[in-house]
Each structure stands twice: as C-alpha cells, then as structure tokens.
Chains A and B, each alone.
Chain A
Amino acid sequence: MNLWLWILVACGLAYFTKLSGYFVPAKLLRSPRMMRVAGTMTIGLLASLTVVNAVASGQALAFDARLGALAAGAIALWLRAPFLVVVIVGSAAAACLRLLGWH
C-alpha cells in the first residue's frame, strides 16, 4: 500500500510539472538557466540510472552479466538500432552470459 501512495504522488507531480509549464509566464524562457538545469539533470539522472542498474547490487558494486548487457546495448545503439532492438539485445546478452556461467 505504501508503494501505491508513492506511485500516486509521483503521477500527480508529473502532471503538475507539465501543467505548471502552461501557467508560467513565457518571460522565464528568456532566462535559459532553468532550461539548462532541467536538461543537464536529465542527462545526469539517465547516466546514473544506467550505472546503478549495471553495477549496483544493493549497497555493493557487483560486476556481473549486466556489464555484458551494457556493452551489447552500447554496440546496438552505435549501430543505430531502434530502441526496442537495443532493449532486446541487452536482455539477450545478459541471458547468454548467464547460460555460459558468468552470473
């Protein structure tokens, strides 16, 4: 139930963020600092989420089959594969490495 609460709060905040944009005076757009912070924060968060999902295991760092998924995903992206293919390649790489005994 606790998790439901945070899900609903997060959904509310997501909508409020979008809607607030429609009520903020356009003047604010001329000060590009807010835009930049929103943009660089997006990059930082996505980079961090990538790393956490690749090497964090609770509060420890672990080097396992997920690193293979990271490498395979990067190669797929570099070859300009579409998003869904990238995700499938990452999944397949981790599954194959586990079959080969690298957990």
Chain B
Amino acid sequence: MKLRESPAVKVGLSISIATGLYGVSFGALASASGFTFWQTMTFSLFMFSGGSQFAFIGVVAGGGSGVAAMTAAALLGLRNGIYGMQMNALLRPKGWLKYPQAHITIDESTATASGQSSPDERRRGFWTAGIGIFVLWNIFTAVGALAGDALGDPKQWGLDGAAVAAFLGLLWPRLKGREPWAIAAAAALATVIAVPFVPAGVPILVAAVVAGAIGWFSHGRSDEGMEPDVDPYAHGHAEPGGQESRESSAE
C-alpha cells in the first residue's frame, strides 16, 4: 500500500491524533460554560475551527452576549479565509470538491499541505490531516461534553483555569519573535483597560481592532500569527518548512 509510505500521510495522521485529542478540553469547557450537548457538537461539526470555538464559549462564559461571541469567533476565523486562498492556489481543487475542502481548511491541514513539495503529497497531506482531525475532534468533543456533564461544579475542578491555559496554549506557538509579543502585549493592555468600561465580551473586540490596526500600518512578516495551533513538523521532519513554502505559495 503506497499511502503508508507517504510522508504527508504520516504527518497528517500524527497531527490528527495530537489535535483531535484536545477536542476533549473543548467539550468539557463548553459543557462547563452551560452549553448543551448538541450546541457543543454543533460547534465541532459545523464551525470546526478550534480557536473560534474556544472564543465563542469563552466570551459567553465571561458573561458576554451572543453577538459579541459570534463576532469574536468570526474575526478569529478570518485567517481561514487566507488559508482558503493559499490552498486554492496550491491544490487547485476542481468543481464541487471545493465545498468539502473549504470545510476542513484549518491551521493544521494548511500547514501539513504547505510543508510538502510535490502536488500529490500536498493533496494527501491536506486531506489526511483535514479528515483525520475532523473525525477525532468530533469524537473527543463528545467525550469531553459527556464527561464534563458528569463532573459537577466546574470551578471545583479548576475548569475556568483550564480555559485560561487553553487560550494561552493557542496563543503560544504564534509568539515567535519580538513583534508578535508586542502585539500580544498591546492587545492584553487594551483588554485590561477596556474591561471596566464596556460590556463583557466587547474588550476582546477592542483588542482585535488594536491588533488589526498594528497589522495594517506596520511592515513585518506577512504570515505573522498564521502558525498552526499544533506544529505538524515539530518532531524531526526534514525542514520546518511551513513558512518558506507558505510564502512561495503566494507567488
């Protein structure tokens, strides 16, 4: 079987397991934040973008409105539109294939595809990572939601602390270099200043505007902040090639 020898499939499968498993934390946090089982599953089945899903439940858990939660999730999903452009240029899907391919266009499938050099391998990597993560992420979301329901008082188990660590964990891989640290610090400061003055959920949107303005007016790396949540090439793949090939894919 050729597929088993494909490096892209291997990378795709390992990233599926690494990413899919943390669906447990999403499921548990969503149920601790008061979302029903089917609401929680709707996020993982139809929104299917970890950062946006955590953002939505994070805003609601903090007392924010549904509109603020929806806005934060949509803004955090903007980078998926960029990934879509890149994957369109790189994989050239034909006809109806665009529609399912769009749904599994996320940090990890994009990174797995753009880390490969041959067109066939890119395609295999994208679909392996995309489908693998989708299946495991949903299974483990369900596990987390059911387990979370059984836990009782979420504070007793420190689940609010788990949310803090989860967001820091999503932010961390993007903090490579001085500029992303400065952006993060500016956004954090804007948030702290805004909290007492505007309704819950809105400080996050204020920070988004600050960070977006920094991106608009400054001239750093063009793929700043586009790192995947979990790096597919973290362990011993030839080149941590995501960056270069993502840049060259823009040509």
Contacts and interface: CB of A to CB of B under 8 A. Distances in A.
A11 B53 CA distance: 9
A48 B188 contact: yes
A3 B166 contact: no
Interface string A33-73: 11111111111111111111111101111000110111011
Given A38-B226, A53-B160, A54-B164, A14 B48 contact: yes
B75 A92 contact: no
A65 B161 contact: yes
A26 B59 CA distance: 34
A40 B79 CA distance: 10
A49 B184 contact: no
Interface in B74-89: 74-89
B224 A92 contact: no
B112 interface: no
Which of A15, A32, A39, A68 has the most chain B CB atoms inside 10 A of its CB? A39
A77 B190 CA distance: 24
Interface in B118-173: 155-172
A67 to B, nearest CB: 8
A26 B216 contact: no
B70 A6 contact: yes
A23 B99 CA distance: 11
5 contacts: A10-B73, A18-B83, A26-B85, A59-B199, A92-B158
Interface of B: 18-19, 21-22, 24-25, 39, 42-43, 46-49, 51-52, 54-56, 58-63, 66-67, 69-70, 72-89, 93, 98-99, 101-103, 105, 155-172, 174-175, 180, 183-188, 190-192, 195-200, 203-204, 206-208, 210-212, 214-216, 218, 220-226, 229-230, 250
